[in-house]
Amino acid sequence: HLYGLSPPVYPSPRGNGSTSASWAAAYARAREIVSQLTTEEKSNLTHGVTGRCVGQTGAVPRLHIPEICFADAPAGVRGQEFVSAFPAGSHLGATFDKDLMLRYGKALGREYRGKGINVALGPFLGPIGRVARGGRNWEGLGSDPYLGGVGGGLLTKGIQEEGVIATPKHWLFQEQEYRRTPGLEGESVSSNVDDRTLHELYAWPFMDALREGAASLMCSYQRTNNSYGCQNSKLLNGILKTELGFEGFVVSDWDAQHAGVASANAGLDVVMPVAKFWGNNLTEAVSNGSVATERLDDMNTRLLAAFYFLNQDEGFPTNGVFPYNVQHPIVDVREDHASLIREIGAAGTVLVKNINNTLPLRHPRFLNIYGYDAEVKAQPWNNPARFGGGYEENFGWNTLNGTLITAGGSGSSTPSCVISPFKALQDRIIADRGTLRWDFLGVNPIVYANAEASIVFINAYASESFDRVSLTDEFSDQLVKNVATNCSNTIVVIHNAGIRTVDAWIDHPNITAVIFAGVPGQESGHAIADVLYGDVNPSGRLPYTVARHESDYGTLLNSTVDPSHPAFLQSDFTEGLYIDYRAFDAQNITPRYEFGFGLSYTTFAYANLTIEQEPDANLDPFPDASVPIVQGGHPQLWNTLYRVNVTITNTGKVAGHEVAQLYLGVPNAPQRQLRGFERVGILQPGESKEVQFALTRRDISVWNVVTQGWEIQRGRFAVWVGASSRDVRAEGKVVVE
Ligand code: BGC
């Protein structure tokens, strides 16, 4: 039990399709092909080759195996034309809406398929946001494993229902960007994590994606317990391929391979974007016995089984991916996804302050609009006409480059068109025969006294490769304060790629409304105008904790910097399960806005909480060991054992959605944890609906490190249902004898 050391788990389990009939059929076909391959052909299927996609394997034309095309991003095909830019993962998470999550996955899947991309490099299920300033937190669904799990499962289902291979990433623990890869300073950071935390926090969302059939998975850049993510036998051979019964293939993150034989034997199946330590070295390793032939065959079989599992040999479109600097046919895959993007855009918009019923706006005739975030690339020091373009243009979206509809790095998207807030608000004002005044540059703009309100647009940018340096910035805070000083009805809209603290001005009496508008994708302006004007009653909820002070995040504010061993940086996850709201609850720190918080234009009442045990509920502490596992783990983990019902009534004056959340106090676990949520279908004033939450075996279990199994806890479980993690509206309890 030495901390920070990864135990060896060998040999690598051979995939066999035993977890379902469709996997079995896919494996039979894959094996037949593999048996006909030459060693060179086998090797070609294990690594990337240069080509049109973000990555592609070599082809085997004589057996009709094409180059298998891999592409980003989790929020829309990146770097291609006539594609849609969807809201980022964190924006989708903020909707707490399962139906939207599934529809998002399906729409995304259709765009990938339409372009002939076999493998989508998402959903993004980690980092989940251990570190508040983490550069990639915005790409995932939020800082809670249950939310990520529900979303990750539905995204996987949606993508794969459209025939595209989903790739949950990054497995596992890449919770910071700082020193994620090795360099001159030394090895990459090592995330040192204990077994229980692995199961209950970080692997949890991946279990759901696997359960929905994810046919691929991406291993991560950094080290885990001092062993690199793509050669970590415990994580790949052990947890993934044994405990979770993974049938698909493991693809490396781009350039994340750091050894040839070690990665092969630890369970890596495909290396991207080039052969790196494989290619000829792999064939040599196989011929001299360092890597077993069965292992090489298993790599191929897993890849091809995934291909057949999704029926990609039948009528899969080809050749929809082109370089931007070469003329090519138009392949338009957008369908009507713009309206879904607009709907999710509005549903993930979080209203956090609204005094004097400032919002919704009531057909104002005169508005002031301020801030660099109101319009597309507003700064003269940037080229104001440049938006979109190819991969190169968009990899590295810049802060203060105008309105933030996506953020930086491989998770950024490339919209065909962008509806900026200014464009959408101008359309509204034109319809109302009004007047606008705007200033997108100044920090202390002229405030026109006749305006009914001033809307200030600011943003908080983040990007892959870097953690953020602050959760706030002085320019934006100063801009907000200056406008508020001069306008008694100041409305602040923040497009935020991750947490944005607001205590510099949140209590200013002239700031009447504040909105976290997230990372909304191409329909940004429509989405925010829909909420501002009340066409959509906001129901978005924060999928992370917004603290009053950055210091409230404590040691989880920043990525770890350990000056004592710079070459072997260690990040000890000693807080275990206590990140985000679990940490704030445990330490009794009052956040500015808690996890799950968001306001509505109406009010809701909760009543009649009832809890029923399922008639056939099996409450034995451990699942039945004689039942074979499925992909994702033991199938009984997903059995419903209890149902919780509550009646929700719209007690206000306008129609709206409530996002009801269930938190469970599991004995021997953090005080309260999200274990259910439902965005209730629109309720008219006075209307009621019954909402049901299902509690599964996994929901009431903790991971027992001694028995190596999920164990139902005994005793009293508190059940809280409410409008946020701290706004409890109905309570009950479950007692497990
Ligand atoms: C990212 C992955 C991405 C890959 C390919 C890497 O830098 O970490 O998430 O899929 O690049 O673009």
- pLDDT tens per residue, range 246-262: 999 999 999 999 999 99
For the chain, give the mean pLDDT. Answer: 95
Nearest C-alpha to atom 9 of ligand 1 is from which residue?
410
* Three-class secondary structure of residue 691 per DSSP: strand
The values of phi and psi at residue 341, to 5°, are -60, -40
> CB of 30 closer than 6 A to ligand 1?
no
Q: What percentage of the chain has pLDDT greater than the value 70?
A: 96
Partners of 715 in beta bridges: 736
Model confidence at 431: pLDDT above 50: yes
**Sheet (strand 659-665) strand order:** 673-679, 659-665, 715-722, 728-736
Q: Could you tell me which of 23, 70, 22 has the C-alpha nearest to residue 302?
A: 23
Amino acid at 495: H
Distance CA(318)–CA(330), nearest Å, equals 13
Ligand 1 atom at shortest distance from the alpha carbon of 124: 9
Distance CA(224)–CA(256), nearest Å, equals 13
Residue 377: left if φ>0, alpha if ψ -120 to 50, beta else—which one?
A: left
User: Residue range 136-140: average pLDDT?
Assistant: 97
User: Residue range 28-52: average pLDDT?
Assistant: 97
Q: Strand 453-460 vs strand 366-370: parallel, antiparallel, or unpaired?
A: parallel
Q: Strand 249-252 vs strand 490-496: parallel, antiparallel, or unpaired?
A: unpaired
User: Which residue out of 254, 395, 465 has the highest number of ligand 1 atoms within 8 Å of its CB and is therefore the one to mutate?
Assistant: 254
User: Residue range 399-418: average pLDDT?
Assistant: 81
> CB of 210 closer than 6 A to ligand 1?
no
Contact 660, 646 (CB under 8 A): yes
> CB of 72 closer than 6 A to ligand 1?
yes
Q: Which uninterrupted H or E stretch holds 43?
A: helix 39-44
Cα angle: 557, vertex 558, 563; to 5 degrees: 140
Q: How far is the CA of 78 from the centre of ligand 1 (A)?
A: 12
Q: Judge if the upstream peptide bond of residue 155 is cis by omega within 30 degrees of 0.
A: no
| Both tokens assigned to 124 | 């993004």
ipTM value for the complex: 0.99
Q: Band the pLDDT of 228: cuts 50, 70, 90.
A: very high
User: Residue range 41-62: average pLDDT?
Assistant: 96
Q: What percentage of the chain has pLDDT greater than the value 90?
A: 89
> CB of 177 closer than 6 A to ligand 1?
no
Q: How far is the CA of 253 from the centre of ligand 1 (A)?
A: 6
Contact 406, 397 (CB under 8 A): yes
Q: How far is the CA of 592 from the centre of ligand 1 (A)?
A: 33
DSSP state letter for 47: B
| Both tokens assigned to 618 | 């099996």
Distance CA(648)–CA(692), nearest Å, equals 11
Q: Which uninterrupted H or E stretch holds 146?
A: helix 145-161
Q: How far is the CA of 170 from the centre of ligand 1 (A)?
A: 9
Distance CA(538)–CA(604), nearest Å, equals 13
Q: How far is the CA of 136 from the centre of ligand 1 (A)?
A: 11
Nearest C-alpha to atom 3 of ligand 1 is from which residue?
410
Lowest-confidence segment of 355-364, 396-405, 495-504, 662-671 by average pLDDT = 396-405
User: Which residue out of 52, 72, 222 has the highest number of ligand 1 atoms within 8 Å of its CB and is therefore the one to mutate?
Assistant: 72
User: Which residue out of 112, 274, 464, 466 has the highest number of ligand 1 atoms within 8 Å of its CB and is therefore the one to mutate?
Assistant: 464
453: Cβ–Cβ under 8 A, 6 or more apart, which residues? Answer: 358, 361, 364, 367, 368, 487, 489, 490, 491, 512
Contact 260, 242 (CB under 8 A): no
- In the Cβ-directed half-sphere of 87, how many Cα atoms lie within 13 Å? 35
Ligand 1 atom at shortest distance from the alpha carbon of 170: 9
> CB of 220 closer than 6 A to ligand 1?
no
> CB of 253 closer than 6 A to ligand 1?
yes
The values of phi and psi at residue 459, to 5°, are -145, 170
| Both tokens assigned to 146 | 């249950």
pLDDT number for residue 442 = 86
Ligand 1 atom at shortest distance from the alpha carbon of 220: 8
Distance CA(434)–CA(669), nearest Å, equals 56
pLDDT number for residue 396 = 37
Strands (E), 220-302: 223-224, 227-228, 249-252
Q: How far is the CA of 254 from the centre of ligand 1 (A)?
A: 6
The values of phi and psi at residue 7, to 5°, are -70, 145
91-133 residue pLDDT tens: 999 999 999 999 999 999 999 999 999 999 999 999 999 999 9
DSSP state letter for 94: T
Burial class (CB in 10 A: 0-12, 13-18, 19+), 614: middle
Nearest C-alpha to atom 4 of ligand 1 is from which residue?
254
Distance CA(469)–CA(140), nearest Å, equals 20
Nearest C-alpha to atom 8 of ligand 1 is from which residue?
253
Q: Band the pLDDT of 401: cuts 50, 70, 90.
A: low
Model confidence at 164: pLDDT above 70: yes
150: Cβ–Cβ under 8 A, 6 or more apart, which residues? Answer: 98, 101, 208, 677
Nearest C-alpha to atom 5 of ligand 1 is from which residue?
254
Q: How far is the CA of 410 from the centre of ligand 1 (A)?
A: 5
The values of phi and psi at residue 604, to 5°, are -130, 145
Please list, residue by residue across 28-67, b when 16 or more beta carbons sit within 10 angstroms of its beta carbon and e when fewer do: ebbbebbeebeeebbbbbbbbbeebbbbbbbbbeeeebbb
pLDDT number for residue 245 = 98
Q: Band the pLDDT of 391: cuts 50, 70, 90.
A: very low
> CB of 86 closer than 6 A to ligand 1?
no
Contact 24, 304 (CB under 8 A): no
Ligand 1 atom at shortest distance from the alpha carbon of 465: 7
The values of phi and psi at residue 677, to 5°, are -155, 155
> CB of 169 closer than 6 A to ligand 1?
yes
Nearest C-alpha to atom 12 of ligand 1 is from which residue?
410
Cα angle: 16, vertex 19, 24; to 5 degrees: 50
Model confidence at 587: pLDDT above 70: yes
Distances (CA, A) of 283 to 42, 61, 242, 251, 276: 9, 20, 26, 18, 13
687-696 residue pLDDT tens: 999 999 999 9
Distance CA(491)–CA(86), nearest Å, equals 25
DSSP state letter for 162: T
User: Residue range 12-23: average pLDDT?
Assistant: 96
> CB of 121 closer than 6 A to ligand 1?
yes
Contact 407, 138 (CB under 8 A): yes
> CB of 254 closer than 6 A to ligand 1?
yes
Asked about 269 being catalytic, the answer comes back as no
User: Residue range 73-85: average pLDDT?
Assistant: 92
Q: Is the dihedral of CA 527, 533, 539, 545 positive or negative?
A: positive
Distance CA(497)–CA(577), nearest Å, equals 24
Burial class (CB in 10 A: 0-12, 13-18, 19+), 608: exposed
Q: Band the pLDDT of 378: cuts 50, 70, 90.
A: low
Ligand 1 atom at shortest distance from the alpha carbon of 139: 9
DSSP state letter for 665: E
Where does 202-259 have alpha helices with state H? 204-211, 233
> CB of 412 closer than 6 A to ligand 1?
no
Q: How far is the CA of 524 from the centre of ligand 1 (A)?
A: 25
Task: Determine how many CB atoms are found less than 10 A away from the CB of residue 687.
Answer: 12
Q: How far is the CA of 504 from the centre of ligand 1 (A)?
A: 35
> CB of 604 closer than 6 A to ligand 1?
no
> CB of 54 closer than 6 A to ligand 1?
yes
pLDDT number for residue 392 = 38
> CB of 298 closer than 6 A to ligand 1?
no
Q: Which uninterrupted H or E stretch holds 491?
A: strand 490-496
Ligand 1 atom at shortest distance from the alpha carbon of 221: 8
User: Which residue out of 217, 410, 413 has the highest number of ligand 1 atoms within 8 Å of its CB and is therefore the one to mutate?
Assistant: 410
Model confidence at 656: pLDDT above 60: yes
pLDDT number for residue 176 = 97
Q: Band the pLDDT of 277: cuts 50, 70, 90.
A: very high
Contact 439, 403 (CB under 8 A): no
Q: Which uninterrupted H or E stretch holds 474?
A: helix 474-486
Q: Which uninterrupted H or E stretch holds 589?
A: none
DSSP state letter for 562: -
Model confidence at 394: pLDDT above 90: no
Q: Band the pLDDT of 699: cuts 50, 70, 90.
A: very high
Lowest-confidence segment of 62-71, 294-303, 435-444 by average pLDDT = 435-444
> CB of 125 closer than 6 A to ligand 1?
no
Q: How far is the CA of 109 from the centre of ligand 1 (A)?
A: 18
Ligand 1 atom at shortest distance from the alpha carbon of 410: 12
- In the Cβ-directed half-sphere of 584, how many Cα atoms lie within 13 Å? 26
Q: How far is the CA of 464 from the centre of ligand 1 (A)?
A: 9
Model confidence at 461: pLDDT above 90: no
Contact 641, 701 (CB under 8 A): no
DSSP state letter for 699: G
601-647 residue pLDDT tens: 999 999 999 999 999 999 999 999 999 999 999 999 999 999 999 99
Nearest C-alpha to atom 11 of ligand 1 is from which residue?
254
| Both tokens assigned to 470 | 């602050």
Ligand 1 atom at shortest distance from the alpha carbon of 411: 9
Distance CA(606)–CA(642), nearest Å, equals 19
The catalytically annotated residue of 97, 253, 552, 699 is 253
Q: Could you tell me which of 525, 520, 467 has the C-alpha nearest to residue 496?
A: 520
Task: Determine how many CB atoms are found less than 10 A away from the CB of residue 735.
Answer: 9
User: Which residue out of 53, 119, 121 has the highest number of ligand 1 atoms within 8 Å of its CB and is therefore the one to mutate?
Assistant: 121
